Amino acid sequence: MSSSPAPLLSGAGSNRTATVPAPAALGARPRRARAGATNAPQPSMPQANPGLRRAPHRRAMEAARQAAPITPRAGTPSCAAHRTAPIDEAGRPPCRKATAASSTTGAMGRAVFLDRDGIVNWRIVGDYVRCAEEFVLLPDFVDFLRGIKALGFLSILVTNQQGIGKGLVSPDAVAALHEQLQQHLQRTLGSGVDDIFVCPDLEGSNSPYRKPEPGMLLEAIRKWHLHPAQCWMVGDSASDILAGYRAGVRTVLVGAHPPVPYAEFHVRNLWEALEVIAQHTAPELSRSTS
C-alpha cells in the first residue's frame, strides 16, 4: 500500500460538528447506538490516544488534506443541461440500475455497502447533486475506500436518487457522475468501486429497492454471492441503517446524528468507520487477500 495519499476533493463547510458518540479505537469495544440514548458533547474530530494502536491507513488519512478536482469528461454538459429527466411510458424511470465497475472478485463473500450523498460526496441539503460541479468528494473517502479494499472487501454503492423520478435530474447525468467518480478512483487507487446500484423511485412509492427497503442490497448479495453476516452497510441516515438491518448485514451510522435504531455502531467519520470494520474483520481473512 502506498504511503502517499491520493489527492482528494474537498468542500467548504460541514454539517458534521454536532454531538456524537466518542470514537471507538482499535483494541476497545466500539460504542453501540441505542434508541433514546443521550450522548455527552464530544469534539468534532477524534482525539489521538498514543496508548492505542492506529487503525489501518490512519496515517495516510491524516495526511490527506490536498484538494484535486474530478476532471469532467470532454463534452460533459453543465448543471443547466440536467434539469429534466426522461421517463418511461408508465410515467417513471426504470426502478433500478446496476453497473459492474471493477475486476475485483467476490471470492471472499463480503462487501461494504456505501450510501452516496453524505458518505462519498458532500450532501446538498434540500436539493440534489445534478452535475460534476456539484459532486465534491468528502475529504477522507478515497483513503477509506483504500482501507476497505486492503481488508479484502468489495465496495458497492447503493444510492436513492429520487431526483430522477421527480424529473429534476436525468439518468444520464447520474451515470456521468458515477463514470467520473470511477475514473477518479482508477487514477488515484488503481480501481473504482466494484458495483453501483441506483434507485430513482419516489419516497412513498412502496418500492422494494428504495432504502429503507433492502432490495438493492439483496440484489447485490445475490449477484456477488455474498455472506450477509460478513458485510457492512455504511451510511449517514436512518434509511441506510434500516436497509442494512433488513438485508442482514452489520451497520455503521456515520456523522452527527441522534441515535438510530438498528445502528450497530455510531461513529463520527469515515476514519472511525474503518476502525470498526477493521476491528471486526478476522485477521486471517485480511491476510488471505494480501
Q: What is the mean pLDDT of each run of 10 residues along the chain (290 residues)?
A: 34 30 33 41 32 33 41 48 38 46 60 98 89 91 97 98 94 95 97 98 96 98 97 98 99 93 97 97 60
Fill in the DSSP letter of residue 146.
H
The one catalytic residue among 115, 140, 143, 195:
115
Which of 88, 117, 172, 236 is labelled catalytic?
A: 117
The span from the CA of 28 to the CA of 253, in Å, is 18
For residue 149, what pLDDT is reported? 96
Note if 115 is an active site residue.
yes
- Spacing of C-alpha 238 from chain mean position: 14
Helix-helix angle 238-247:215-224, to 10 degrees: 40
Position 125 scores a pLDDT of 81
Task: Enter the CATH code of domain 96-288.
Answer: 3.40.50.1000
Predicted TM-score of the model (pTM): 0.68
What are the residue ranges of helices labelled H in 151-235? 162-165, 171-189, 215-224
pLDDT at 224: 98
- State the pLDDT at residue 146: 98
- Annotated catalytic residue 236: no
pLDDT attached to residue 51: 28
Cβ(71)–Cβ(135) below 8 Å: no
Helix 141-150 vs helix 171-189: crossing angle, to nearest 10: 70
